[in-house]
Structures are given as C-alpha cells and as structure tokens.
Amino acid sequence: MHKNTKGFTLAEVLITLAIIGVVAALTIPTLIQNYQERAWGTASEVFQRKLGEALRVMNVQGTLAGYTTTEAFVDELSKHIKITRICDNDDITTCFADKVTWDGEEVEMSKIKTSKNFGKDDWNTNTVAVQFANGVNGVIAYNPTETCKQDPYSNQITGTSCLAILYDVDGFKNPNTQSKDLKQINVSSLGESNCVLQLDGFCFTAPFLANVPLTYDECIAHKDEWQIEYCYNTDENYWGGVVKKCGGAQNMPTFEHLAKLADYIYNTNGVGAEESISLEIDMYKVYEFGGGSFDFLPIPTYMAFSIYGNEYGTVPFSGENGYGGRYFSETGSFAGFDVPTRSGGVGVCIAK
C-alpha cells in the first residue's frame, strides 16, 4: 500500500522563497545601517573618553592653556594620547578625507585652514590635521582666548573649551558624513565663516527657519555629543532640529546672547538676560541680522519671530520641560520657555 502524503508544489516553494527574498531585501539594509550607526556611536564615545582623559591630565599638569598656536597645543597633546601623524593646514588631506558632507553640502577639507572655518572667528589660529593610533582622523583648532581655562586643583575642567575638533571615526573610509562617521566637538560651522553679526565678541550665524525637526531616536543617539540635557518623547522636536544644525546645544544662544541681540535690534543698551522691553523694532537691523534678507522670518511681511535658545526650564501654566528663547516683535521683546514641538521658530548658531 502507498501512503497518501501531501507536500508542497514547486510553485508554492518558489513563491515562499520570493516572499522571503523581498522581506530580506527590505529589512537587511536597515539592520546593517542600524548596526553601522551604533558602531560609529560607540567608536565616538571611546574616542571622546580617551581625548577627555588626555585633556584632564594636561589640566592637572598645567599644560592645557596658554598656547598661541594650534601646532604647539597638538605637540603637547601628542604626549598624552597617541598620534601617529601630524599635518599642517597646507597638507590637511594627507591626514584627513579630501571631502566631507556637512549640513547636506560637500566641503573640501583642503580649504579648512583656520579656526574661522570652524565658526570660531575670534580664535585666530590655524587648523592642524592628525591621525590617532586608534584609526580616528581629526582636524583641530586651538582656543587661545581666556575661555580656555586650566586649574590643576579643579576636577570640573574637562578641557573641551580649549579646542574645536572635527573627527572621523572611520578614518578615510566613506561616508565621511556629519552625524554618521563624522563627529565634532565645538565645531559650529564648517567652511567659509558664516558670521553675519558680531556683538561683544559673539558671532551670530545667519538665522534660518527651524522647519526640520529632530526625531526621538536621533536625540537618544546623539544626546551626549550634542550636549542635550533632555530628550523629548516626540519625532517633532523643532528645537532639537536647531541643536542638530548648530552641531550641539553648546553652539546655540543663551538668554544673554539673545539679550545682546535685542539691544542691537531695538537700538538700546543693557537689556537683561530675561528682561522684557517695549520698544519699536528697527527693521533695517532685522534685515542686517538676516544677512541682507527677511527670508528667515516665518511670515516675511510680519516683523515677529521667536529664536530658540539652549537653556532649559519649566513652561508656564503647563509645567512641562521646555527650552529657553526670546520673542521679537514690532513693539517689543521678551524671554521665556516654550515646548519643543512648537513649529515656526527661528534658529541661529553662536560661534565664539
């Protein structure tokens, strides 16, 4: 007797394999990308930890501050973290990738020769490219101003205020792209200096409409790198979008910066950090602040806008965590806190 067995036909097997292939094609690239981003994040954390240890040792030894050139600073740094090659600013691409992607645009690294190309207009130092022994490549500019502090008896000084560094955790390998393998500390812009307004030594970059939000996953992934204190559980974080564009909350304006801007725009002096004022706005000053344009205004025909700041606090009435900022209108200005999901704000970065 023959048993009546039932199996799969060839057509059924082929259809099943086709479905598996489609599912794999849809999911595997995402899995690989997620793995790669985690690997880049881990490599960045390891590098920042090693760099931080070196800077802390330099602080303890009293060799962190006081240099006049990036070259002298890097020479001392190489005694505390292993550097295999150093390239001056005429030879950047021997130690670093020829081109990188920053803010969605291609940047030729051979043109990154001074601190101004990092958005640090008042440092007046050259850049130096280095190759670290762990495979990370970097471009460094040193801060010779008084904001670079050292105190051998303080464990609060991290040393990061003394330099700006653009680094690639994958060396010369692609994609050489911001927030992927390309990371930074204190780099507020990359390329030609985009300082449109200088007030008391602070450089305000061109204002822009904050219409691209930061997702919750992006916030979690870059929380430490961008010095974000709190990640809001939303994918419509417009304040976070400004953090991303500025390269970190540390490159966004404080209440003090925005008060200086209010002094300028309303032709006054001495506006307090969180002070409200009732004065007529100077439209020409707004035009200058916009780099010769009103395009950054949410409504170009209406002289009113809110600028996102980098300070945290409690939003009135709702009690929610919020960000600080300042509102500017035709008849006055005031500072306060708001929720990050409110769209229609304006972003500006600070380089100092």
CA distances, 341 to each of 211, 304, 327 (Å):
11, 19, 16
Residue 346, CA distances (Å) to 82, 163, 277 in order:
42, 28, 20
Name the H helices within the chain. 10-61, 70-77, 92-95, 216-222, 238-246, 255-265, 283-289
Q: C-alpha 330: how far from its chain's center?
A: 31
Cα(173)–Cα(178) distance, rounded to whole angstroms?
A: 13
CA 82 to chain centre: 26
Beta bridge partners of 197: 204
Cα dist from 86 to 76, 96, 153, 176, whole Å: 12, 10, 31, 20
What confidence score (pLDDT) does residue 262 get? 97
Q: Cβ(280)–Cβ(331) under 8 Å?
A: yes
Q: What parts of the chain have a pLDDT lower than 70?
A: 1-7, 24-33, 193-194, 352
The reported pLDDT for the residue numbered 38 is 86
Distance, CA of 86 to CA of 73 (rounded, Å)? 12
Contact indicator for 62, 80 with CB cutoff of 8 Å? no
pTM: 0.62
Task: Cite the beta strand spans of 70-162 per DSSP E.
Answer: 83-87, 99-102, 105-108, 127-132, 137-142
3-class secondary structure, 162: helix
Residue spans of the domains in the chain: they are 27-193, 216-351
Nearest CA to 228 out of 251, 255, 259 is that of 251
